[in-house]
A and B are shown apart, each in its own frame.
Chain A
Amino acid sequence: MRQTALPDEILMQVDKPARYIGGEINSAQKDPAEVAIRFCMCFPDVYEIGMSHLGIQVLYGMFNDREDVYCERVYSPWTDLDALMREAHIPLFSLETQSPIKDFDFLGITIQYEMCYTNILQVLDLSDIPLLAKDRGEEDPIVVGGGPCTYNPEPIADFFDLFYIGEGEVSYDALFELYKEKKRTGMDRREFLHQAGKIPGIYAPGLYEDSYHEDGTLAGFEPVYDDLPRTIQKVAVTDFDQVYYPKAPVVPFIKATQDRVMLEIQRGCIRGCRFCQAGMIYRPNREKNVETLKKLAVEMLDNTGHDEISLVSLSTSDYKELDELVSFLLDGLREKRIELTLPSLRIDAVALDLMKRIKGVNQSPLTFAPEAGSQRLRDVINKGLSEEEILEGAGLAFESGWDKVKLYFMLGLPTETDEDAREIPQLAEKIAERYYELPKERRKRRIAITMVTSFFVPKPFTPFQWACQLPPDGFLHRSHEVAESLKEQLNQRSITYHWHESRTAQMEGVLARGDRRLGKVILKAYESGCFYDAWEDHFDYDKWTKAFKECGLSMEFYTQRPREEDELFPWDFIDCGVTKPFLLREWKRARGGIVTPNCREQCTGCGCRVYGGGVCFENQG
C-alpha cells in the first residue's frame, strides 16, 4: 500500500485531502531507482485547476513513455495546507511517489497566467529549493519553465534555470539526453545550463545580461557566452497530425474544473484578433486529421471512463472537418450516453445546427464574444464579427427556442472612448429587440441577456504590445459608462451587467510586459505574504504597491507609458515566428481601423511560414 507524505492529522484537517494523495487512475507508476531522470511537473495553482490543464497531460504522458524518465506531478498546496506544512516543516512532495521535490532532477513549471508568479515562489519555497536560480547548488533540481508566459519570461527570469520557449513536444528529448550526459560525465550545473542554452527553444536566463537607458527602457540584452544564440527561436511541431497525444490521461478522484476528455483538434488560430496573445504565439494554425481525431476520441473515452468529451482549440468553428467529426462523435456516443461539448463556437446557422444536433435547444445560454460594443472598435481589434452577424445569429437562435444570451466584452481597448463603452448596452438592447420581433406565442419568457466586461491587458507578441493600458480608475469610469448607458435602454430589466476587478488587470499588465527588474518586486511581494494572486479573495493590492515602492519601481512605467515604435522590448530576444515588423504593421492598421483578413482568406506575411506546416501551406500547390 502506498504511503502519504502527509500524516493523518494533517490530512484530516485540510479541505479536500484527496488533492494530495496521488494514486489516480492512469497516473504513472515506476520505480524511481530504475530511471535515469526524475522529472516533477508542476502547475502552480490548486489541484483542480492544474489537473484541468491539457499541456501537462500531454508532456506527462510523453515523458513517461520514455523508459528512462519518470515524470510525476505537483500542484500548489491550498492555503490551509501551506500553513500546516510550514509549521510542521514538511517539504513539498510529488503526488505519485510522495517524495520530496528537492530529490528530483527537474522541476518543470507550466506558467499559464501572470498572476501565478508568486505561487511559483511558494512551490520553490515549500520544496526547500533556493528561490533565486543563482543560489542553487549541484544537488538542486533544474527548474525549467514553459507555457505562454515564457514568451516574456523576464519578470521571473531570476527564479528559473531554464525556460522552454515553444511547444513541449519538440525539444525535451534533446534536453534529457544532455542531462544524461551531464550525469555520465559529471558536468557541473553551470556548464549544463550553458550547453542546454544551445538546444533549439531552450533559454538559460542566467547566462544573459540586461542593461537599461536612463529613462528605464531596455538598452541591451546579450548572452555572456559567444556560442549562445542572441535570439531564441520558438520551437513548434510541424507534423501536428502525428505528434504525440496522451491516450490515457490521468483521471482525478476529485472533480477537476475540466472533468472530461479534452480532444485538441487544432493548434493555433487563423483569426488575427489584435488583443489575443494565444492567436499569435501558437501560429501557424495546424489541424489534426479527422480520422486521427476519431481514433483518439474513442481510445481516450475507453481509457478514462469520462462521460463527456470537449473539443479543444482556439476557435472550434474554424476546424475544417468539424461537421464530419461531430457527426461521428454523435453517432458513436449517443448510445454510450457520452456528452459532447463544443466551446468557442462562432454563432451562425452552421453552429446553431450543430448545437441543436448535440443537445437540442437547451437552457445553457448562447454565447457571443463581440469584445467591443461598437463596430469601429471591433475593426480596431480585428474581431471579424459584425453587428449584422451577431443579430442574425441571435435571431436564428431565438427562432429555434433559445432565450438566454451571454455577451463578453473588453474595456480599455486601444482608441476606446466613452462612446464605445456606451454602445455595449446598445448592442444588448438590439439583441433584446430582435427577440421581441418573435410572435408573442413563441416567446416563453422574458429574454435574459448577461453582459460581462473584463479589462484589457496588452500582451507581448500582439499588435497591442505598444499600447497604453488604462489606469484602474479609468477602467472603473468605463464600466460606470456601461452601467449608465444600460439605464437608458428600453429593455434594461432583461439585461444584467457584471464586471471584473480592475486592479488585478493592472497587476497582470505590469507583469505581462515587465522586465527583469521586476524579479525583486515579485520576491518582495511573496515575502510579504502574497500568493494565490489569481484568486480575487487572496489578491492583496496594497502589499504589491508596497513592494513596488520598496524596490523603487513604478507600475505605471510598465502599463501607462507610451512605447516608441523602435523601443527594444524585454521579450524581443524571442522569435515566436510572428515578426516585429508584422506586429507593427498591424498596430498601425489597428489605429486606422483597417481589418486584416484571416490566414485562410489571404496570407499577410506574419512570418510563421518558416515552421513549414499548417494553414500557411494550404491551397498553395
Chain B
Amino acid sequence: MKIRVKFTKHGPVRYVGHLDMMRYFQKALRRAGTDVSYSEGYSPHPIMSFASPLGVGMESDAEYFDLQVESSLSSEEEAARLNRQMADGIQVVSWRLLPEHAKKAMAQTAAIDYGISLQEGHPLPCEKGEWKKKMEEFLGQEQILVLKKTKKNEVETDIRSLVFSADASAADEGGEVFARLCSESGNSLNVKLFLEAFCNFCGRPYDMLSYRVCRKEVYYKQEQEDGNSIYLPLEEYGEPIEGDTL
C-alpha cells in the first residue's frame, strides 16, 4: 500500500540537505518499526520518494514523501510512532493512504506556496510602505525576463506565467511576502529566482541572506468539470486511515 507522509522542518535542521533528509527518514522508519516495503535486488532499500527537494537553509510546513508499506496502523498511530523518533525541529503531521494508482508526489506537484520573511539589517529591495505597490507593479508586467541556468548554459525566459500569485502587503507592516509559484516538472520557478527577478525589477541587488524562506504548502492540480482547475494540498490526494490496522 502507498502512503503519503507530510512533515514539517524548522529550526537548525533546516541546514540538513535533501539527500541527508532521505537518509534521516530511512533510519527513522527503522527505529519506529514501520512495516516498510523494500526494493528487490542486490542492495534492498525502502521504496520511498520525496516530492520536491527543499533548498538548504529553508524551513517548511509542508514536506512530502510517498512510501510503500506492507501494512499500516491508523494514521494517528503511525504518525505518533514516527514522531517519537524525530529530531528537534522535524514533525510528522499526516500519514495518508493513497489510491493504488496514484502518481508519485513529485510527478503530481504543480504549485508551491512560500512565505518569505525579511531579515532586518540586510539590503532589501523596498522600503517599508513600498512593498505592496512594487509587487503589484512587478506582477503587472506583460513579461518578466530572467536568465535561467540550465545544465549547459543560461537562457532568457519569461517567468511571468510561473508566478501564480504574490502578495507583499504584509511586508509593509514587517510581515512576510507570500508567493505561489508554479512547480510542474520541467516548468518550475525557484523561489530564489523569483526574489532575484523582483530585486532586479526594483533596481536593487539580490542578496539571498536577506530572506528567510519557509515552504507553506505543496499542491497538485485537479481539473474541474467546468474545465477550470483547482490546486489542492498533496496530502488531500490520500485518505486518513482510521481505526486499528490494515
Contact = CB atoms under 8 A, between A and B. Distances in A.
Interface of A: 1-4, 8-9, 11-12, 16-18, 20-25, 251, 253-255, 259, 301-307, 336-337, 339, 362
B174 interface: no
Contacts of A306: 27, 30
Given A21-B13, A23-B12, A25-B28, 5 more contacts: A8-B57, A8-B209, A12-B57, A254-B16, A307-B26
A253 B27 contact: no
B29 interface: yes
A394 B222 CA distance: 62
B105 to A, nearest CB: 22
A142 B145 CA distance: 60
Contacts of B23: 255, 259
Nearest to B36: A337
A18 B90 CA distance: 14
Given A1-B88, A2-B88, A305-B29, A255 B12 contact: no
B16 A307 contact: no
Interface string B23-46: 110111111000000100011110
Q: Which 6 interchain pairs have the tightest Cβ spacing? A: A305-B27, A305-B30, A21-B12, A17-B15, A305-B31, A1-B11
A580 B197 CA distance: 73
A1 B89 contact: yes
Contact of B31 (A16, A21, A303): A303
B23 to A, nearest CB: 7
A304 B209 CA distance: 35
B212 interface: yes
A301 B88 CA distance: 21
B129 interface: no
B1 interface: no
B10 interface: yes
A18 B89 contact: no
B13 A8 contact: no
Contacts of A259: 23
Nearest to A1: B11
Contacts of A301: 30
Contacts of B208: 12
Contacts of A17: 15, 56-57
Contacts of A255: 20, 23
A12 B209 contact: yes
A52 B20 CA distance: 16
A259 B209 CA distance: 32
Contacts of B24: 253
B118 to A, nearest CB: 13
Given A23-B89, A337-B44, A18 B16 contact: yes
Contact of B26 (A21, A24, A305, A339): A305
Contact of B13 (A253, A303, A336, A339): A253
23 contacts: A2-B89, A11-B57, A17-B57, A18-B16, A21-B12, A21-B13, A23-B12, A23-B13, A25-B27, A25-B85, A251-B27, A253-B13, A255-B20, A304-B27, A305-B26, A305-B31, A305-B85, A306-B30, A307-B26, A307-B27, A307-B45, A336-B30, A362-B42
Residue among A301, A302, A307 with the highest chain B CB neighbour number at 10 A: A307
Contacts of B57: 8, 11-12, 17
Contacts of A24: 87
A307 to B, nearest CB: 7
Contacts of A3: 12
Interface string B4-17: 00000011110111
A25 B17 contact: no
Contact of B11 (A2, A9, A18, A25): A2
Nearest to A7: B209
Contacts of B20: 18, 253-255
A307 B30 contact: yes
A336 B33 CA distance: 10
A24 B15 CA distance: 12
A48 to B, nearest CB: 11
Contacts of A254: 16-17, 20
Contacts of A23: 12-13, 87-89
Nearest to A302: B31
B15 A11 contact: yes
B50 to A, nearest CB: 16
B7 to A, nearest CB: 15
A20 to B, nearest CB: 8
Nearest to B31: A305
A80 to B, nearest CB: 14
A259 B88 CA distance: 21
A108 to B, nearest CB: 24
Contacts of B44: 337
Nearest to B39: A337
A303 B17 CA distance: 23
B12 A4 contact: yes
Nearest to A9: B209
B212 A8 contact: yes
A199 B69 CA distance: 55
Given A1-B10, A24-B87, A304 B31 contact: yes
Nearest to B208: A12
A25 B90 CA distance: 11
A17 B16 CA distance: 7
Contacts of B29: 305
A256 B199 CA distance: 39
A303 B44 CA distance: 20
Contact of B12 (A2, A251, A303, A336): A2
Contacts of A9: 209
A450 B164 CA distance: 57
B15 A18 contact: yes
A19 to B, nearest CB: 9
Nearest to A253: B16
B30 A21 contact: no
A374 to B, nearest CB: 39
Contacts of B85: 25, 305
Contacts of B28: 25, 305
A24 B88 CA distance: 8
A25 B13 CA distance: 12
B213 to A, nearest CB: 11
A11 to B, nearest CB: 6
Interface string B106-124: 0000000000000100000
A336 B57 CA distance: 34
Nearest to B27: A305
Interface in B143-176: none
A219 B182 CA distance: 78
A380 to B, nearest CB: 42
Contact of B87 (A16, A25, A304, A362): A25
Nearest to B44: A337
A43 to B, nearest CB: 20
Nearest to A305: B27
B116 to A, nearest CB: 14
A25 B31 CA distance: 11
A305 B31 CA distance: 5
Contacts of B12: 1-4, 21-23
Nearest to B212: A8
A79 to B, nearest CB: 18
